[in-house]
Amino acid sequence: MKIAMLGAGAWGTAMAQSAATRHQVVLWSKDPEHAHAVQQERENKRFLPGIELDKRLEITSDLDAALANADLIVLATPMAALREILLTLTARQVHCPVICLSKGIEEPQPGATVGLLGHQVAQQVAPDFVRQNGFGVLSGPSFAKEVALGLPTAVVVASEQERVCEQALAAFHSERLRVYRSDDPIGVEVGGAVKNVLAIATGLVDGLKLGMNARAGLITRGLAEMARFGVALGAQAQTFMGLSGLGDLVLTATGDLSRNRRVGLQLAEGKTLEHILQTLGHVAEGVYSARSIVMAARHLGVEMPISEGVLALLDGKMTPDAALQALMQREAKAEWDL
């Protein structure tokens, strides 16, 4: 099949690289200079350095060329750009399924109380497009560099439309990348969004050298927090025990390749958020999703103390020590309460 991968960041490039051995893949970058450099050098030095790209992978900044005769469109843009690219697709009247790789919750639009998950943005922006073509989300424990290197990885694709999952499996399932199916896009997206915020918190705990007990406790309580939030939004509770929940949380909270974890580590060192983001070089979605997640949780009446603490820390309203103290001084309660 022909796959149009829209977004040439680390994740989009890695997934394009993975599929290029079996399909015709066109990787689209909005930046013409970036696209030209990647095409000529056969390496995405800005976002995925050190990986030689498959010679069959085409890179372009011509969106119409990327979309022409596509059998599957994959959106690998940051969550903040998802609405714009969806509007662009509807204007071009493309006719094939869409899979979204973006992780996070969109900032609330003017007049809205809470932000939307990726599939909800698609349903709001392009309901006819979604109904006719199909829309799914893909997530799971998957560092881009390891996927690009062909190291064994397992992810999950979720859609309410079975044909979309089948198309995603045909595109990406291989001996190196195992793709599972789910009918719970809410749960899969919540896991992919909240784990980034929890990874900042875990990086903070590790940066403060509070020990392995503290790390394990925070990850476990974070999983409970994630599940409470997801179930309140309509997700299936068992989804959070799977790849997009527990799996992605463990990887992002503990893996050295995690950008969100690095944010927490550097906050613990006393560095400012502005400095951290300037030197990071990539988007850390947890920084941008924390506020939307907390606002949605408050609206639903869901307690998310770890996420609340991360937001207060990012906003400069709490020091790392104060955020930790606020968590430890909470009253005792039952472990699971969804």
Q: Which ranges in the chain belong to alpha helices (H)?
A: 10-19, 32-41, 63-67, 82-92, 118-125, 127-133, 144-148, 162-172, 185-207, 212-233, 248-254, 259-268, 273-280, 285-300, 305-314, 320-328
- Annotation-wise, does 195 bind a ligand? yes
| 271 carries a ligand binding annotation | no
Please indicate if the annotation marks 42 as binding a ligand.
no
Cβ-Cβ contacts under 8 Å for 55 (sequence gap 6 or more):
42
Q: Is 248 labelled a binding residue? A: yes
**Residue 162 Cα to chain centre, angstroms:** 22
Confirm or deny that 45 is annotated as ligand binding.
Answer: no
Find how far residue 135's CA is from the centre of its chain: 16
260 marked as part of a ligand binding site:
yes
195, 271, 317, 333: which is the annotated catalytic residue? Answer: 195
Strand order in the sheet with 24-28: 58-60, 24-28, 2-6, 72-75, 98-100, 135-139, 153-158, 177-182
Residue 195 falls in the annotated catalytic set:
yes
268 is in an annotated binding site: no
Find out whether 7 is annotated in a ligand binding site.
yes
Q: Is 55 annotated as belonging to a binding site?
A: no
Phi/psi of residue 90, nearest 5 degrees: -65, -35
The annotation status of 285 as a binding-site residue, yes or no, is yes
333 is in an annotated binding site: no
* Residue numbering of the annotated binding site: 7-12, 30, 103, 140, 142, 144, 195, 248, 258-260, 283, 285
* Residue numbering of the annotated binding site for sn-glycerol 3-phosphate: 103, 140, 142, 195, 248, 258-260
* Residue numbering of the annotated binding site for NAD(+): 7-12, 144, 259
* Residue numbering of the annotated binding site for NADPH: 11, 30, 103, 144, 259, 283, 285
Which positions are catalytic?
A: 195
